[in-house]
Structure 1
Amino acid sequence: MKKYVLLAVPIFLYGQGVLFYFQSNSSLFGQSLVNLVTIIILLSLLLKQTHFHHVLDWIVGTAFVLYFCVLYHQTVEFEWYFSNIHYSPEDISYVFNFVNLMPLTGILEVLRYNPNATFQILGNLMMLAPLAFAMLYFKWTTSYKRVVLYAFLCSVGIEVFQFFQTIISTVFSLGIGRSTDIDDIILNTLGAGIGIGVYHLWTMIVKVYRQKREKSHLTA
């Protein structure tokens, strides 16, 4: 049960908003509360499958929880604005202006028009790499294929959720809208391969360290 102490991280990050807006702003209070409950549920499900055996596990676990909070904030965090609600079904056609289903189109447009293209592409490429590393490090799965599959499904889930956020934002002018791009899924999934590579390198380093340690004990 000690591992659940890591839930203090999201409680600290989102709990401040819950307390701050408790009496001053009901909309932002509800938003902060929904985000806090959601992220605690998601992290609890992951921590349930996680076992900490030594200090390094706690360090990696803490880093993962911080990473997960940032990932949640940057991708699917709930944001709404009740004061601007109005129903406009004719705006539904504009939703698809934020959707790209042609592979590589989004990447090429970013490279062509965005001066920070490299940063944006690398950001999407690295987004799920820590998740892939954590899956293997904490033995949530031992299969590289499943790591890639889970990363792919996670990325698809994020993009689908963002699509519905865009519908709500566009049609009702309620909350924040985000673009949905198949290239993000491609980059996120490729990033899982980077996470696998980092984990493989990590296991090699640990193996060499243990071999040297055993030799030093034998010669002592």
Structure 2
Amino acid sequence: MARYNGPKTKISRIFGEPILGNGKWLGKNSNPPGQHGEKRKRKTLGEYALQLREKQKAKYTYGILEKQFRKTFDEASRRKGVTGENLIKLLEARLDNTVFRMGIAPSRPAARQLVSHKHIEVNGEVVNVPSFQLKAGDVVTIKEGSKTRTSITSVVRAKNPKFSWIDFNETELKGTFITYPERESVPENIKEQLIVELYSK
């Protein structure tokens, strides 16, 4: 299975929320994709369908395929604490997600591309693995040779102050992953408990 590169609006219409970016096409008259839209859908989803839907939403949101998502869940279940919250923390600590949160890239796919193309350093070393797990205190910077590329620096924006678990200086193009975020600080509308129930079957 390849990574999804199709229309973002289609995925947003499936879940009824802009999980892949701009939601300007989502309105009260937006129907799910397909020839008959909502008419061919069951009015109420069963327990398994709701759990599967939530997992798919999380995978699309963070741009992860099934095998990698399952490995992340297994790691979350091994750690102390609430498995669902651990899962969100691990997803947020991914390098590509952190690059996006810092404002270095306008979207997670763009952040993934920056990392894959070796434009990002962690603690002074180039890291080209988007799923790289950051630890508290790790410093993320744009590689020195890439700082002169306007295609990269022109899209850098100030960090959203809501993301208190990371710090970023847009002048120096340097940021720090301070700590794992608390669940209530992560704005994504994901019901992680449903994912835990799905994998616990």
TM-score over 0.5 (shorter chain)? no
Determine which structure has the larger helix proportion and give its number: 1
For normalisation by structure 2, the TM-score amounts to: 0.23
Higher relative contact order, chain-length normalized (CA < 8 Å, sep 6+)? 1
Relative to its length, the structure with more strand (as a share) is 2
- Which has the larger Rg? 1
